[in-house]
Amino acid sequence: MSTDAFLLLLLVALVTRHAWAPRPGLRGWGAQIALVLVQMLLAALLLDLPAPVAVWTMLLAAQAAHILLLRRLANPHLARTLSLALALLLLALVAGEAAMVGHPRVALARALDHWAASNALLSALPPDTGHRLLVTAAALWLAVMEANHPVAFFLKRIDLLPAAVTAAGPSPEPARGRMIGRLERGLVCLMALSGTLSGLGLLLAAKAFARYRDMDERAFAEYVLIGTLLSISAALAVGLAFTLFI
């Protein structure tokens, strides 16, 4: 199984899975069936599948586990963390069997190569640009969209949320905080992929400057520090792991 095929399968399985939010009744199950069909269709269109039934079964099992965990567990961060771990395990099992997924479809690769060669700007890019974009896209998706759930679960599980935050209700994390976290993990992941970790100091300084008025409260300052370190560590781990694919 080629690296590009594995990365495409990873993106198909995780990006489409993330699009679903639990809804009650037939409408929710109809959306689930449509989502699984989209996953199967994308896998068939993008990848050469010597054993398509096995790959489709893996996608169906990962999606079914995702639904059951979100419905059964009260903590959505724990449910999504376990779902991600199971999906990555299933993908690793498929990746270890070269007879299941060979490589991206030849016709698609040739069409993209022909289009790039005929474009004055794209033809000047290195020949492995497409592969690097796949590696970057998969790493960014895991770091930006998926890593938030284990970090949030850990912070809430060990009861690190200060009173000022928990008083805001069951969903205290504001939209701005989520966006800052995503941008932070995305930048750290890109730094790790490009080998320019010296920019971490500037990133931490910028975050400290934005929060300096709130740091007078020790509990909140420690919560922000621990959350930032966890978030950066998760993004670093993803970025450094995906450098193995480059």
- Residue ranges of the alpha helices (H) in 19-162? 25-46, 52-72, 76-95, 106-118, 129-140, 148-157
Beta-carbon count within 10 A of 53 CB: 9
The residues, ordered by sequence, that sit 6+ positions from 49 with a Cβ below 8 Å of its Cβ are: 43, 55, 100, 101, 102
- Give the pLDDT of residue 137: 94
- Give the pLDDT of residue 210: 66
**Cα 228 → chain centroid:** 18
Give average pLDDT by consecutive 10-residue segment, the chain, 246 residues. 83 79 59 84 88 88 87 89 91 78 80 79 80 92 92 79 53 68 92 89 77 67 83 94 90
Q: How is residue 154 written in tokens?
A: 């850990």
- Give the pLDDT of residue 212: 63
Q: Are 193 and 246 in contact (CB under 8 A)?
A: yes
- Give the pLDDT of residue 21: 53
Number of H helices, E strands in the chain: 11, 0
CA separation for the pair 67, 128 (Å, rounded)? 37
